[in-house]
Each structure stands twice: as structure tokens, then as C-alpha cells.
Amino acid sequence: MEKPAETQFPIHDLLRRRWSPLAFADRLVEPEKLRSILEAARWAASSFNEQPWGFIVATKQDEPEWSRLLSCLVEGNQVWAKQAPVLMVSVVKLTFGRNGESNRHAWHDVGLAVGNLVVQATSLGLSVHQMAGILPDKVRELYGLPHGFDPVAGLALGYVGDPDSLPEPLHQREQANRMRKPLTEFIFSTRWGQVSPLVT
């Protein structure tokens, strides 16, 4: 199954084909692919090159660890994410290593790293479904996150599966159209809310 974005202007195939599946195939992810996916995250840009990201990773090759990470997702996500052979939780370091001050861009920069990770996964034929729905306190406790670090999001990663393997209403959700706001709602110039002539 593919769900390419219906774009208004052309974009690169790796971005057009990226989407967040609910159905994952019963197929393990090759460790060398996973290494490239993590390496891609490593090379993102960040404020003062702080690289404020970290990842807790578990694969179905190590079932107890994988189950432990699954238990850190909200129930609504466990229902489908239990099909995914790789689970991760991203973690943010909230202060700068060089001076201990608050890093205003820490969460943003974790997003940049994950963006890289997702592009790399897509280029290797894999799909990523990111989840806001995790249990941050459980992550913090189970994995012993130190003070100054916050769990950010969950990631389910694997080869895309058959949508018919999903129960309703997930099956229907998997087939729904992909929607985005038009560019005219968020590309501005001169004043916030004034649409840039570039996109009209």
C-alpha cells in the first residue's frame, strides 16, 4: 500500500511517499538499515550543534525489551504498534551542555533529527509512524531518565503491512485521505496572516 501526498507543488519523492501507516508487515528490520536510520538522525542541524536528541530503541529480536517499550505507549497506540518490529522513544535534553542554560530550540531540534530519520527510513523502503501518545512518566521511571531530560514521542518503524490486517475503525483510518492546510494559511509576508504572493 502507498499513500503519496496530493501536492499542490511538486516535492521530492521521498517526502511525497512518506506517510504514517497503522499496519506493519510481520518482517524484521535489518540491523544495518536501522544503523543507517539512526546515523541519519545524528547529522541533523541543531542550535549551537548541541544535538539535544537521544533515542531508546527496542526491536522484536529482543522481545522482553520490545514489550517494555510497547508498554510506554498509550493503549490506543499499542493496539496497532504491537505489529511494528521496531519501537523507539525520542528524548530531549533541555539544557545546553556547555553552560547549563535552557535550550529554547531543544524540542525543535529533536524534530529535525527525527525528520532526518524518517527520510532515511523511507529511502530504505521502511515506514515510520510517530506517536504523541506515550506515557512520559512511565518512560522516565522505566528507563531512569536523568533530571533535565524529557521523553518526547514514540516511533513505530517497519515495513508497511496489509491494511486488511487491521480491525475497524483502524482499517478505515488507514484508507482515509491525507489532508493538509493550504499554503495560503501559513505562508505569510509583511504581516502575520497576510498571504505571501509566492503562494497565491
Cα separation, 157 vs 58, whole angstroms: 10
One-letter-per-residue 3-state SS of 27-82: CCCCHHHHHHHHHHHHCCCCHHHCCCEEEEEEECCCHHHHHHHHCCECHHHHHHHC
**Comparison of 70 and 118: residue with beta carbon closer to a second copy:** 118
Shortest Å, Cβ 146 to a second copy: 7
Q: Pick the closer one to a second copy by CB: 1 or 45.
A: 45
Q: What residue has cell string 510517530?
A: 130
CB 55 within 8 A of CB 46: no
Q: Which is nearer to a second copy, 1 or 196 (CB)?
A: 196
> Could you give the 3-state DSSP secondary structure of residue 162?
coil
Rounded distance, CA 117 to CA 28, Å?
18
The CB-of-75 to a second copy minimum distance in angstroms stands at 17
Q: How far is the CB of 160 from a second copy (least distance, A)?
A: 15
- Residue 46 φ then ψ, to 5°: -160, 155
Identify which of residues 153 and 166 has a Cβ nearer to a second copy in the complex: 153
Please say which residue, 54 or 163, places its beta carbon nearer to a second copy. 54
Q: Give the type of residue at 49.
A: N
Q: Quote the least distance from Cβ 60 to a second copy, whole Å.
A: 13
Nearer to a second copy, 1 or 48 (CB): 48
C-alpha gyration radius of the chain: 18
Q: How far is the CB of 133 from a second copy (least distance, A)?
A: 9
CB of 110 to a second copy, least distance (A): 6
